[in-house]
A and B are shown apart, each in its own frame.
Chain A
Amino acid sequence: MVIDQLIAFFDTHLIMLYLLLFTIILGFEIIAKVPTVLHTPLMSGANAISGVVIIGGILLVKQAAANDWILLIGGALAIVLGTINVVGGFAVTDRMLEMFKKKQK
């Protein structure tokens, strides 16, 4: 029954399924050959991208009723956590890469 529903879900969201599979292949292809020197910045930059989950937080809070305190406070918490990940992640990666650049002069 659950399986049927899952299949039905992917049938109605077929584009999402295409996107899912193509992106997996794309992700593997992009990263397959990375020099060791970039492992840390790559990981930390990718980590910042995974903070994209805050979009969900924003959508959740937007749709919440103005007196639904659980959703408002919980959603705001999710946004705070996600934004720390996003802003901190990109900023710290930039700081690391700045050092690599300085050296090339």
Chain B
Amino acid sequence: MLGAVINLSYLIGALAFVWGLRGLSSPVTARRGNRQAAFGMGLAILATLLTPNAEGNGNLIWILGAIAVGGGIGWRAARKVEMTSMPQLVSIFNGLGGACAVVLAGLELQRITGGAQAATGSEMVILLLTLFIGGVAFTGSILAYLKLDGKIWDEKVTLPQHSLINAIFLLGLIVFMVFLCWQSASLTLAVLIIFTVLTLIYGFSFVAPIGGADMPVVISLLNSFTGLSAAAAGLIYNNQIMLVGGILVGASGTILTVLMCQAMNRSLLNVLIGGFSAKGGGSKAGDTGDQTVVEVGLADLAVQLYYSDKVMLVPGYGLAVAQAQKACKELDELLEGNQVEVKYAIHPVAGRMPGHMNVLLAEVDIPYSKLLDLEEANAELKDTDVVIVVGANDVVNPSAEDDPSSSIYGMPVLQVWNAKQVIVLKRSMRPGYAGIQNPLFFHEKTKMLFGDAKDSLTKLVGEVKNQ
């Protein structure tokens, strides 16, 4: 009887995951969907706790204690994080999920080395795969976190010929795994530790060459890895809900990754070998030639905005760094009060996480109807009076359209140069994350406003108020 109830709970839990994920893909039902999925998880955990044990009390104190500690930490982190640091937090959470799979597979493999139980070849395959995928998701996510948080710069972790090294590394690990499955008796504790360490190093190395606008892609990919490792762990325990939950995440993460790649008009392979780096050729950072930039005065700009009919803002990662979303909203309200139409052009890979800008603008209650996607924005840019680029760079780079030698050539971009005037808010002339020079800054229609984005926007709001 209890067994049937437990199995049914797993079934309901798995259905809740499916419904929840479906709900999450539409704005109206998203919040309910998330809660349905959470309910499914709670039910599954409860059912597992109630599963009868052959002997003893099933170490419930240990389990409940660990859940309390983990739940407390997770809850606090989720409540306290700034919306601008969301990509970092999602990366860390994802890494911990991977780490969980690594610990599990490691413990199961350690039992085998102890000789406590014999393993079949298929068990070895599944255990090693769980360890490997989970390990890559773990350390890969940690490096992604460090990169997003600006703690590590890309050049410091990339070796010459890095993608070649990665390919050989991966091949070596696969050979190692095949050997272990074939000769499962050779798995001693020392060999297990070596394999685990190598896997963890590979995870770092895998993410090392990827940076810039490719971060949303890699975060989404690592997310799908964590799902796959959970699914593989489900095979170890012959547990259906782990399999269903893991595969759903793996599949949805893969789709999201592909969507991101399509938005940049590049293949996943090209992203993984770090095609976005400055080495890709084209005009490099600092290669400014004898071109000059024109700065704009705050008062002039304020007048210009005040008497425009239509203004479009292009937010980018700089907006997140400067936490300038509130200042954006103030400027928006002020201009709307004077019958100026204000819109936002959101490039699919703006920011460091899929949909990053939408989250930030939603935080300050900017209506969904004001946000334009790439195609809508490009259509409307032609009759826009002033475009204000707030901390975006690579997504407004004309080289993507007219410079075949540029490493971002072919990526769809926002054609801001079609507007009557472009204002670029930037901290300095430093190139974007991708390290590519941006001819937009030297364009005849462009004027620069140097400084912290929040600072500049706040001052601008003050000037507009004086009109």
Q: Residues on A close to B: CB < 8 A?
A: 1-2, 5-6, 8-9, 13, 16, 19-20, 23-24, 26-28, 30-66, 70-72, 74-104
Contact B100–A99 (Cβ < 8 Å): no
Chain B neighbourhood of A81, CB < 8 A: 70, 96-97, 99-100, 103
Contact B70–A87 (Cβ < 8 Å): yes
Contact B81–A92 (Cβ < 8 Å): yes
Query: Quick one: which of B108-128 are within 8 Å of A by CB?
Result: 108, 110-111, 120-125
Contact of A31 among B21, B239, B358 (CB under 8 A): B21
Chain B neighbourhood of A57, CB < 8 A: 66, 100, 103-104
Q: Residues on B close to A: CB < 8 A?
A: 17-18, 20-22, 24-27, 30-31, 33-35, 37-38, 41, 44-45, 48-49, 51, 53-54, 56, 58-59, 62-63, 65-67, 69-71, 73-75, 77-79, 81, 83, 86, 89-90, 93-94, 96-97, 99-101, 103-104, 106-108, 110-111, 120-125, 134, 178, 181-182, 219-220, 223, 226-227, 229-231, 233-256, 259, 346, 348, 353-356, 358-359, 362-363, 365-368, 371, 373
Cα-based distance from A83 to B66 in the complex (angstroms): 8
Contact B67–A34 (Cβ < 8 Å): no
Chain A neighbourhood of B220, CB < 8 A: 43
Contact A27–B235 (Cβ < 8 Å): no
Contact A53–B252 (Cβ < 8 Å): no
Chain B neighbourhood of A64, CB < 8 A: 59
Given contacts A20-B243, A60-B104, A90-B41, contact A100 B63 (CB under 8 A): no
Contact A88–B97 (Cβ < 8 Å): no
Chain A neighbourhood of B124, CB < 8 A: 2
Chain A neighbourhood of B229, CB < 8 A: 53
Contact of B59 among A37, A40, A47, A62 (CB under 8 A): A62
Contact of A45 among B33, B79, B106, B234 (CB under 8 A): B33
Please, which residue of chain A has its CB at the minimum distance from the CB of B263? A36
Name the residue in A35, A82, A102, A103 with the highest tally of chain B Cβ atoms < 10 Å from its Cβ: A82
Contact of B34 among A41, A60, A62 (CB under 8 A): A41
Apart from A62-B48, A76-B63, list 8 A-B contacts with CB within 8 A.
Answer: A30-B248, A46-B223, A47-B97, A83-B67, A83-B70, A91-B75, A91-B79, A103-B365
Chain A neighbourhood of B17, CB < 8 A: 49, 52
CB distance from B102 to the nearest CB of A (A): 9
Contact A83–B48 (Cβ < 8 Å): no
Please, which residue of chain A has its CB at the minimum distance from the CB of B250? A27
Chain B neighbourhood of A28, CB < 8 A: 251-252, 254-255
Please, which residue of chain A has its CB at the minimum distance from the CB of B105? A56
Cα-based distance from A30 to B220 in the complex (angstroms): 16
Contact of B93 among A23, A48, A79, A95 (CB under 8 A): A48
Cα-based distance from A65 to B365 in the complex (angstroms): 54
Contact B235–A85 (Cβ < 8 Å): no
> Chain B interface mostly helix, strand, loop or mixed?
helix
Contact of A37 among B49, B238, B358 (CB under 8 A): B358
Contact of A53 among B31, B246, B353, B368 (CB under 8 A): B246
Chain A neighbourhood of B26, CB < 8 A: 35, 38
Contact of B107 among A66, A75, A86, A102 (CB under 8 A): A75
Chain B neighbourhood of A44, CB < 8 A: 86, 90, 93
Cα-based distance from A11 to B22 in the complex (angstroms): 31
CB distance from A30 to the nearest CB of B (A): 5
Cα-based distance from A92 to B31 in the complex (angstroms): 11
Contact of A91 among B74, B242, B256 (CB under 8 A): B74
Contact of A26 among B18, B44, B67, B181 (CB under 8 A): B18
Contact B27–A38 (Cβ < 8 Å): yes
Contact A45–B24 (Cβ < 8 Å): yes
Contact of B21 among A46, A65, A71, A86 (CB under 8 A): A46
Contact of B252 among A46, A52, A65, A101 (CB under 8 A): A46
Name the residue in A49, A79, A91, A98 with the highest tally of chain B Cβ atoms < 10 Å from its Cβ: A49
Name the residue in A53, A54, A65, A87 with the highest tally of chain B Cβ atoms < 10 Å from its Cβ: A53
Contact A34–B78 (Cβ < 8 Å): no
Contact A90–B235 (Cβ < 8 Å): no
List 25 A-B residue pairs with CB atoms under 8 Å apart, sorted by A's residue number: A2-B122, A16-B240, A19-B244, A26-B251, A30-B22, A36-B346, A36-B358, A38-B26, A43-B256, A43-B354, A46-B21, A53-B226, A58-B49, A60-B108, A64-B59, A70-B110, A78-B100, A80-B66, A81-B70, A83-B66, A86-B70, A87-B70, A88-B73, A90-B35, A91-B79
Given contacts A19-B243, A61-B63, contact A82 B34 (CB under 8 A): no
Contact B77–A47 (Cβ < 8 Å): no
Cα-based distance from A59 to B359 in the complex (angstroms): 37
Cα-based distance from A85 to B67 in the complex (angstroms): 11
Contact B252–A27 (Cβ < 8 Å): yes
CB distance from A66 to the nearest CB of B (A): 6
CB distance from B238 to the nearest CB of A (A): 7
Contact A27–B104 (Cβ < 8 Å): no
Please, which residue of chain A has its CB at the minimum distance from the CB of B184? A2
Contact A40–B97 (Cβ < 8 Å): no
Please, which residue of chain B has its CB at the minimum distance from the CB of A1? B121
Contact A23–B252 (Cβ < 8 Å): no
Please, which residue of chain B has its CB at the minimum distance from the CB of A28? B251
Please, which residue of chain A has its CB at the minimum distance from the CB of B244? A23
